[in-house]
């Protein structure tokens, strides 16, 4: 099709649903015939508003759906910070705030909703907020720095999210709800009571059944006349809330309104499109408005007159419109409004007919006031079908129960077992039908999940990637995992977690076996627990376990045969058989004298030098037999092994910190040196990297490390589980505002817990993902110490730091260990002819030959020169 | 150089058995060629070309030894391809192998002989 025949779709709004429409349009092929232009009013591209509260922990970039701001499909143009101010449906044009006009063939409205702020006197005061955008949260965070107490008006789902945010920011938080219970839309009275108790236990105050009458200004506020005609408006900040029929005002210095949302339909209204009675663009089952070329999706739309304030129906509408624009017949006929979420650490779920409005339905409840658990099932009159339910305090059964409602399957004989404690979250032997919807956000059924396994997905994580199941709100993840595992089992497929053919156990199991029996050598371990003589998988794994537990020398006679390529010679093997050498430079801090020593060593041994990503210097091209002489020079000058060759701590990178930087709030270099010195030499399942930044600007890129520390004015924030590499991961907040002492104790526990329980070659990010409960579980073990392991883990780390020694210095002192550093056992004076170098940009580079090079006819003399070379001989 | 004439094969002594830790290898220079000499736990001795045909570098003596089933092998330290100590055959790819050498232990001394025909 020639370009001038291409049609244009204009999308107004780049929120979650607008973005979903664009991706659906690209995937379905609409961009083959249509150009798409998207206008977003916010300064940033679409982001995950469902996870808005995690913004304080993860930052804006982690929430973004399109961090680059550009769609890969060049036929889609995204313009952020751009508002559409007018639609002319007759001319088929939209007008932007700056007067620019743009014609469309099809117009998709995805303008979302706006928070509703009731007209309470004083609501225009300073420190009154809503909870919708990242900008709102930034403003709330700023105000929370000085606020002591705050109130959230509205005890619904979003209000509790907002209360959680205030609570996390250290503000004494009040929740104010007009109805007699919290979350009145989703849960019943008994459930609301249990939820309220949980929230009160956390230190928040809940006020139900109260009406906000007015907001009082603080003392400095005054009536200032802005406009003679409009009269005076209140200036200044809030100081208290006044309730109807309550004498005492509630002193607060910030307020967040979360009293519901209203569809943003002003553009449509002005354009003359039909609206629903209670607001929203009235659309048909294909989401088409009263004008055939204007469509509406998400919260601004009202299919059949009803507005949907959840993301899943919005996604469905986006798919329906993309389909309709391609001539499809898909329809949106209503949505499953089931919800499951964790509010302030409390599981809450509501599904189907949660309030039991079906005539003659039966209710089955389980309540444990002590544990704070409440569960209710709503069952059909004849007791055969599940209609809905409410879960508070323990929502593990949600993944099973919601699809049971949706699929209308027959209930098992004793339905109460579905909600009794100890019933597995997966629901015992209950088999959902293939058409049962498991992921309601992305409409994925059990059949879809099993088909993904048939198509080659090997794990639940791969199925999520393939089908999107569990990728939006995550509430069905456990169920997806269980379906995948059950399907594997049904196919006779077992997920083999053995280390290798010699050990039928995981690395974590082997770690415990070694610890319990106190083994000291590989031979003891394989004789007692393995078969054969090991391999290149289990030997380095055992070497790492023994090193983590005993901290002996990796080249000690009985265990050096286990060491992997690099550990075997305490250097990094490069492609032509030469090695690279990296001395430790803790925190990246080095004296001019140190730099000169490294320069001289590199020059004298003819080595290639390069600065590493971990703020140190790598010297390449060392011959194996030269390593001891190189290290003698380095050790004499005070350098230690940098363990660049080990699955062990590499570096703790730092920014320059408060010592020099105008912005720094803490001494990041000092802390980085302390941490790198503390954990140097720690052998671990994979390499470990750390970083310390002296302020929130994060110049040390600490969140790209296995452990990252970022200075705050009150102390340190500790992030864990980041890495670069092929699959980059941002570290997540484990704990905030820690003293240095707390930080070290949490880090000791975190690292040792990882060393003990991770699989071989599993970085911290995948290890955290593999734990049941993920980061929350790590926090329970490390911060809350629920397993009571804290002291033991810290003691293990103390043993490591007390027994640390520089393994290169120890090697140089031991002729037995040096014996192996020879080119040829029978010709130690002859360098390996296969190692040769060319030159690029003034430095050596390796050359690799197709065939082995041979030393010409050599006379090695009459005797066999066998034995250990002295240091003088190796040079 | 000590050379022993045994029928038509020349054996060259390279080191003593005790110079190699059990289940490790060492490189030796034999008639100008780099040869990897390995010792297993039961004191059997094998000699392979030291040259890794995948990585094109002379490194096999530095690999980890192991067993796959009953077959003793060395894993290349570069990219871990396993080579049978007995035949030089790559255990993951039948089309690739490294040369093997005759080898014997006499009075505690390891002697490497001729490169075997049809290998490498």
pLDDT (tens digit per residue) in A592-606: 999 999 999 999 999
Q: Which of B2, B23, B51 sits opposite A834 (nearest CB)?
A: B51
Q: How confident is the model at residue A770 (pLDDT cuts 50, 70, 90)?
A: confident
pLDDT for A862 equals 39
Q: How confident is the model at residue B120 (pLDDT cuts 50, 70, 90)?
A: low
Rounded CA separation A763/A545 (Å): 16
Residue A870 clears pLDDT 50, i.e. is over it? no
Q: Which of A535, A560, A577 sits opposite B59 (nearest CB)?
A: A577
Least confident of A80-94, A247-261, A375-389, A449-463: A449-463
pLDDT digits (tens, 9 = 90+) for A397-422: 887 888 888 777 888 777 777 777 65
What DSSP element (H or E) covers A481?
A: helix A477-490
CB contacts, 8 Å: A577 with chain B: 57-59
**Could you give the maximum distance between any two Cα atoms of chain B, in Å?**
39
Mean pLDDT calculated for residue range A345-350: 85
pLDDT digits (tens, 9 = 90+) for A257-302: 998 899 999 999 999 999 999 899 999 999 999 999 999 999 999 9
Q: How confident is the model at residue A161 (pLDDT cuts 50, 70, 90)?
A: confident
Mutant choice from A562, A819, A825, A853 vs B, greatest count of B C-beta within 10 A: A825
Can you list the domains of chain A with their CATH numbers? 3-113+263-325 (3.50.50.60), 117-259 (3.50.50.60), 507-563 (no CATH), 647-805 (3.30.413.10)
Rounded CA separation A133/A111 (Å): 13
- Rounded to the nearest angstrom, the gap between the alpha carbon of residue A75 and the centroid of all alpha carbons in its chain is 31
Show which of residues 81-110 on chain B sit within 8 Å of chain A, judged by CB atoms: 82
> What b/e readout covers A766-780, taking b as 16+ CB neighbours within 10 angstroms?
bbbeebeeebeebbe
List beta partners, residue B110.
B15, B105
CB contact under 8 A, B33 and A852: yes
Mean pLDDT calculated for residue range B27-37: 95
Q: How confident is the model at residue A106 (pLDDT cuts 50, 70, 90)?
A: very high
**Could you give the maximum distance between any two Cα atoms of chain A, in Å?**
114
pLDDT digits (tens, 9 = 90+) for A118-136: 888 888 888 999 999 999 9
Q: Which of A535, A569, A856 sits opposite B75 (nearest CB)?
A: A535
Residue A867 clears pLDDT 50, i.e. is over it? no
Rounded CA separation B120/B97 (Å): 5
pLDDT for B1 equals 46
Q: How confident is the model at residue A656 (pLDDT cuts 50, 70, 90)?
A: very high
**A501–chain B nearest CA distance, Å:** 8
pLDDT for A411 equals 82
Interface membership of B26 toward A (CB under 8 Å) = yes
Residue A377 clears pLDDT 60, i.e. is over it? yes
CB contacts, 8 Å: B24 with chain A: 560-561
> What b/e readout covers A93-112, taking b as 16+ CB neighbours within 10 angstroms?
ebeeeeeeeeebebbbbbbb
User: For residues B114 and A412, which has the higher predicted lDDT (pLDDT)?
Assistant: B114
Structure tokens at A505: 């156990």
pLDDT digits (tens, 9 = 90+) for A65-99: 988 889 989 999 999 999 999 999 999 999 999 99
- Rounded to the nearest angstrom, the gap between the alpha carbon of residue A307 and the centroid of all alpha carbons in its chain is 31
Answering whether pTM is above 0.80, one says no
What is chain B's mean pLDDT, rounded?
90
Mean pLDDT calculated for residue range B27-38: 95
| Whether CATH 2.102.10.10 fits B18-98 | yes
Q: Please provide the DSSP assignment of A221-246 as one string.
A: --EEEEETTTEEEE-SBEEEEEETT-
Least confident of A63-77, A357-371, A659-673, B1-15: B1-15
Mean pLDDT calculated for residue range A690-707: 95
What is chain A's mean pLDDT, rounded?
88
Beta carbons of A176 and A360 less than 8 angstroms apart: no
CB contact under 8 A, B14 and A826: yes
Cβ pairs bridging A and B (under 8 Å): 137
CB contacts, 8 Å: B29 with chain A: 824, 826-827, 830, 855, 858, 860
Taking CA atoms, what residue in A is nearest to B62?
Answer: A565
Mean pLDDT calculated for residue range A360-367: 87
pLDDT digits (tens, 9 = 90+) for A630-644: 999 999 999 999 999
User: For residues A485 and B8, which has the higher predicted lDDT (pLDDT)?
Assistant: A485
Domain limits, chain B: 18-98
List beta partners, residue A707.
A690, A720
Which pairing describes strands A836-840 and A843-847: parallel, antiparallel, or unpaired? antiparallel
């Amino acid at each position: 099709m020639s370009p001038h025949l291409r049609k244009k779709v204009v999308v107004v709004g780049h929120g979650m649903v607008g973005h979903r429409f664009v991706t659906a349009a690209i995937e379905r092929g609409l961009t083959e015939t249509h150009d798409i232009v998207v206008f977003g009013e916010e300064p940033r591209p679409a982001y995950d508003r469902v996870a808005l509260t995690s913004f304080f922990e993860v930052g804006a970039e982690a929430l973004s759906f399109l961090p680059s701001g550009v769609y890969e499909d060049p036929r889609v143009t995204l313009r952020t910070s751009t508002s559409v101010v007018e639609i002319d449906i007759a001319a088929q044009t939209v007008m932007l705030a700056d007067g620019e006009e743009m014609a469309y063939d099809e117009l998709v409205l995805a303008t979302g909703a706006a928070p509703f702020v009731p007209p309470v006197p004083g609501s225009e005061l300073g420190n009154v907020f809503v909870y919708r955008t990242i900008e709102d949260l930034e403003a709330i965070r700023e105000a929370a720095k000085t606020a002591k107490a705050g109130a959230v008006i509205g005890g619904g789902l979003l209000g509790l999210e907002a209360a959680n945010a205030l609570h996390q920011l250290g503000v004494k938080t009040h929740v104010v709800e007009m109805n007699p219970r919290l979350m009145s839309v989703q849960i019943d009275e008994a459930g609301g009571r249990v939820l309220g108790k949980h929230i009160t236990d956390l230190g928040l105050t809940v006020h139900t059944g109260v009406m906000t009458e007015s907001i009082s200004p603080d003392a400095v506020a005054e009536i200032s006349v802005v406009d003679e005609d409009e009269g005076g408006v209140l200036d200044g900040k809030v100081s208290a809330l006044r309730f109807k029929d309550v004498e005492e005002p509630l002193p607060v210095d910030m307020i967040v309104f979360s009293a519901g949302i209203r569809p943003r339909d002003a553009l449509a209204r002005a354009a003359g499109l039909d609206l629903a009675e209670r607001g929203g663009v009235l659309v048909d089952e294909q989401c088409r408005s009263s004008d055939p070329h204007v469509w509406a999706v998400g919260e601004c739309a009202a299919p059949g007159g009803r507005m949907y304030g959840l993301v899943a129906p919005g996604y469905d509408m986006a798919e329906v419109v993309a389909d309709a624009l391609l001539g499809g017949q898909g329809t949106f006929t209503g949505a499953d409004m089931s919800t499951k979420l964790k509010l302030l650490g409390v599981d809450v779920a509501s599904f189907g007919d949660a309030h039991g409005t079906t005539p003659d339905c039966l209710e089955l409840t389980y309540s444990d006031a002590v544990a704070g658990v409440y569960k209710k099932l709503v069952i059909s009159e004849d007791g055969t079908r599940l209609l809905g339910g409410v879960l508070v305090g323990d929502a593990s059964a949600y993944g099973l129960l919601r699809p049971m409602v949706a699929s209308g399957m027959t209930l098992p004989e004793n339905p109460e077992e579905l909600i009794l404690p100890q019933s597995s979250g997966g629901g015992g032997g209950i088999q959902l039908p293939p058409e049962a919807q498991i992921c309601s956000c992305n409409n994925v059924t059990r059949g879809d999940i099993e088909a993904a396994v048939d198509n080659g997905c090997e794990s639940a994580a791969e199925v999520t990637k393939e089908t999107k199941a569990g990728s939006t709100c995550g509430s069905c993840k456990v169920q997806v995992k269980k379906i995948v595992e059950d399907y594997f089992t049904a196919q006779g497929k077992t997920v083999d977690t053995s280390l290798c053919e010699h050990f039928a156990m995981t690395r974590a199991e082997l770690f415990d076996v070694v610890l319990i029996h106190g083994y000291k050598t590989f031979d003891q371990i394989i004789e007692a627990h393995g078969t054969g003589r090991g391999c290149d998988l289990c030997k380095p794994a055992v070497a790492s376990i023994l090193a983590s537990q005993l901290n002996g020398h990796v080249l000690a006679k009985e265990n050096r045969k286990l060491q992997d390529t690099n550990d075997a010679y305490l250097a990094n093997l490069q492609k032509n058989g030469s090695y690279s050498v990296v001395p430790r430079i803790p925190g990246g801090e080095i004296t001019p004298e140190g730099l000169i020593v490294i320069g001289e060593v590199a020059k004298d041994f003819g080595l290639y030098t390069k600065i590493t990503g971990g703020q140190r210097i790598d010297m390449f091209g060392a011959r194996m037999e030269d390593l001891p002489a190189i290290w003698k020079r380095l050790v004499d000058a005070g350098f230690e092994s940098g363990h660049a060759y080990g699955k062990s701590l590499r570096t703790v990178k730092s920014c320059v910190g408060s010592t020099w930087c105008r912005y720094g709030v803490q001494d990041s270099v000092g802390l980085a040196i302390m941490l790198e010195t503390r954990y140097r030499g720690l052998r671990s399942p994979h390499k470990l990297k750390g970083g310390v930044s002296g302020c929130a600007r994060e110049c040390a890129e600490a969140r790209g490390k296995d452990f990252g520390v970022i200075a705050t004015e009150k102390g340190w924030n500790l992030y864990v589980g980041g890495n670069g590499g092929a699959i980059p991961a941002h570290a997540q907040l484990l704990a905030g505002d820690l003293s240095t002492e707390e930080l070290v104790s949490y880090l000791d526990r975190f690292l040792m817990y990882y060393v003990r329980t991770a699989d071989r070659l599993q970085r911290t990010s995948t290890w955290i993902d593999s734990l049941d409960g993920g980061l929350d579980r790590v926090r329970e073990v490390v911060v809350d110490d629920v397993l009571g392991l804290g002291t033991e883990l810290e003691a293990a780390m103390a043993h490591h730091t007390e027994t640390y020694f520089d393994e290169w210095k120890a090697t140089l002192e031991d002729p037995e260990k040096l014996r192996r550093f020879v080119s040829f056992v029978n010709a130690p004076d002859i360098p390996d002819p296969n190692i040769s170098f060319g030159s690029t940009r003034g430095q050596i580079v390796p050359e690799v030959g197709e065939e082995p090079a041979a030393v010409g006819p050599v006379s090695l003399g009459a005797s066999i020169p066998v034995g250990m070379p002295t240091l003088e001989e190796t040079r | 150089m000590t050379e022993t004439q045994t029928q038509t094969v020349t054996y060259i002594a390279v080191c003593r058995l005790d110079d190699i830790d059990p289940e490790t290898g060492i490189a030796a220079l034999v008639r100008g060629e780099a040869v990897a000499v390995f010792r297993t736990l039961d004191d059997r001795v094998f000699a392979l070309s030291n040259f890794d045909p995948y990585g094109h570098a002379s490194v096999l003596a530095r690999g980890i030894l192991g067993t796959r089933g009953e077959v003793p092998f060395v894993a290349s330290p570069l990219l871990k391809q396993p080579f049978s100590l007995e035949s030089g055959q790559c255990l993951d790819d039948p089309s690739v192998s490294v040369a093997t050498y005759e080898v014997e232990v006499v009075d505690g001394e390891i002697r490497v002989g001729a490169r075997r025909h049809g290998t490498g």
